[in-house]
Chains A and B, each alone.
Chain A
Amino acid sequence: MLNPLRSEQEAFRFLLYVAAIVIAITAVVLIVRALT
């Protein structure tokens, strides 16, 4: 399991995951908002 507090490597990977998820959520919200 990914534990961002175990090592810098995992913290960095966690950052990349967070960035990817946030970009996806933001894109969905902005698209939905533009269509309604």
Chain B
Amino acid sequence: MEAHAAPLHTGAHVEHEHHGPPEAHRSSRVEPQLLGMLLFIISEVMVFGAFFTAYFFIRVVDGNPWPADGTELPKIIAGFNTAVLLSSSVTIHWALEGVKRGNRFALKAGMLSTFFLGATFLFVQINEYAHIGFAPSNSAQASVFYGLTGLHGAHVFIGLCLLAFVNIRAFRGHFSPEQHRGVEVPGIYWHFVDVMWVVVYTTVYLL
């Protein structure tokens, strides 16, 4: 092994230093990591679109009352939660701008606060389910409410897993002004989750 490893660090072979299978051919001008996230988010928009279609049919096409008679949605608490999630987008943006400038404190503090703000959002959402007073099986409106907010909650959970990885890497000394794709790509996903919540909160709670 050592005889094989040695030439990698000397002279002309350095640029060929590559482990694992050969690198894939690329025809896109977009970087593979960004392209992957782009395609994923497009598919996610379609998933949310399907859930919004159910909402649209129940409320607009069928003209049912929203929310169902005798039920109430906690607009204020969800509004507080919206502020929590929106501020988590600011902190992750701060983290990325920080690492681009070589500011490791901004990276670590930004990522950590983003994670805890996201976790707070999910905790409040679960607490809301526990106290809201109706189950998904109670009415079509209730099904759509749990469907839309639950789908979004699942995305927050996935986002939190990504943020946990970014946090671990950040605290282990990864990322630099030159190499920060690992912060940027989860950041795009996190902003998407935020945009989706703005739409969900507005249609489900406010309008």
> Could you tell me if B188 and A4 are in contact, using CB atoms closer than 8 angstroms?
yes
Chain A interfacial residues counted at CB < 8 A: 17
On chain B, the residues within 8 Å of A7 by CB distance are: 34, 184, 188
Is B89 within 8 A of A12, CB to CB?
Answer: yes
Residue-by-residue, is B19-60 near A (CB-CB < 8 Å gives 1, otherwise 0)?
A: 000000000001000100110010000000000000000000
Q: Closest approach, in angstroms, between the C-beta of B154 and any C-beta of chain A?
A: 20
CB-nearest residue of chain A relative to B184?
Answer: A8
Are A5 and B34 within 8 A (Cβ)? yes
B residues contacting the other copy or chain, number (CB 8 A): 24
0/1 string, A1-36, CB within 8 A of B gives 1: 000111111011011001100100110011000000
Q: Lowest 8 CB-CB distances: which A-B pairs, in order?
A: A8-B187, A11-B191, A5-B38, A8-B184, A11-B188, A12-B93, A15-B191, A18-B195
